[in-house]
Amino acid sequence: MADLIPLPHTAKGRKGPPIVAIHGFGGDRTAYTDMLPELAKMRRTIALDLPGHGAAATWPEPPDAGACAKAVIDTLDALKIPTATLLGHSLGGAVSSIVGLMRPDLVERLILLAPGGFGEAMNSRLLRRFAAARTEAEIAPVMETFFGPAKPLPDNLVAETAKARQEDVLHASHQAVVKKITRGDGQGTLPLTKLAAQPFPITLIWGDQDYALPFSQCLAAPPEMARHLLPGVGHFPQLEAPELVMRIITQTITGRA
C-alpha cells in the first residue's frame, strides 16, 4: 500500500466518512466545483480526475471502466479511506459500481447520476463526436445535445471545454478512452442483480431527456435501488438541476431534506 499513488484530486471539508466524487467521460474533477462547498458541509469531499482525464491524462494505457475502478480503489487505499460514499456521473457511475463489486468493504453507499453500464443502449456516436471536438463551434452543438431541451448550458462550459481540448495529450487521450468504453453502437453492461445484492444502498438520479443514456435504464434497474427521475433534464443532472440534485444527495446521506 505504501507504493500506491492516489489519482489527482481536490479535497474539501473535514468531518465524516468522505464523499468521493467521480466525473464522467471527457470531464475532470472540476465538474463538481460548484457542488463541492455544499457537499463539504456534510462530509469531507474528494473530487478525483479519472485515468485518461484532467491531470491524469498521461495514463500509460487508455483505460476502460475497470482500469478506472482499480485506480479509484488504489486511491482510497493510498489515502487510507476505509469507507466512502461514491458519487459518480456517467462513466464515473459505472466506475463507482465496479468499485462496489470489487471492494464492497470500501463503499458506504452509491449515488449514481445517469450511470454507464445499466443497459446496452448508449449514444456512442454522440460520445465519439464529443471526444473529437476541439473548437467551441464543434463542442457547443454536442453539449446542447447532452442537455435537456429547456436547459441552457452553464456559463463558460463550452469555452472551458474547448480550452482544455487544446492540449494535444488530453484530446488524444479522450479519443483513445472512448474507444475503450464503447461497444459498437452501445456499451458493456454491469451485473446489476449482483450489484443490487451488495451490502450498501444505491440511489439513481436520471433525467428523462437524457439522449446519451436512456432513462428507461433507470426504470428497468433492480427494485432494490432507489431512483429519482428528473423531468426535463438531460445527461447532466448535477448541472441542469443543481439545487434538486443537491437536495436528493443531502437527503440520501443525512436522512433529511
Alpha-carbon distance of 190 to 180, in angstroms, equals: 15
Total number of domains constituting the chain? 1
- Give the structural domain span for 250: 9-254
Domain-located, residue 170: yes
Task: Please give the pLDDT value at position 1.
Answer: 45
Domain-located, residue 128: yes
Domain-located, residue 58: yes
Task: Please give the pLDDT value at position 255.
Answer: 81
Q: What is the CATH number of the domain that holds 127?
A: 3.40.50.1820
For the segment 173-192, what is each residue's pLDDT rounded down to a tens digit?
Answer: 999 999 999 988 899 999 99
Domain-located, residue 4: no
Domain-located, residue 2: no
Domain-located, residue 226: yes
Task: Please give the pLDDT value at position 151.
Answer: 82
Domain-located, residue 174: yes
For the chain, list residues with pLDDT below 70.
Answer: 1-2, 256-257
pTM score of the predicted model: 0.96
Domain-located, residue 133: yes
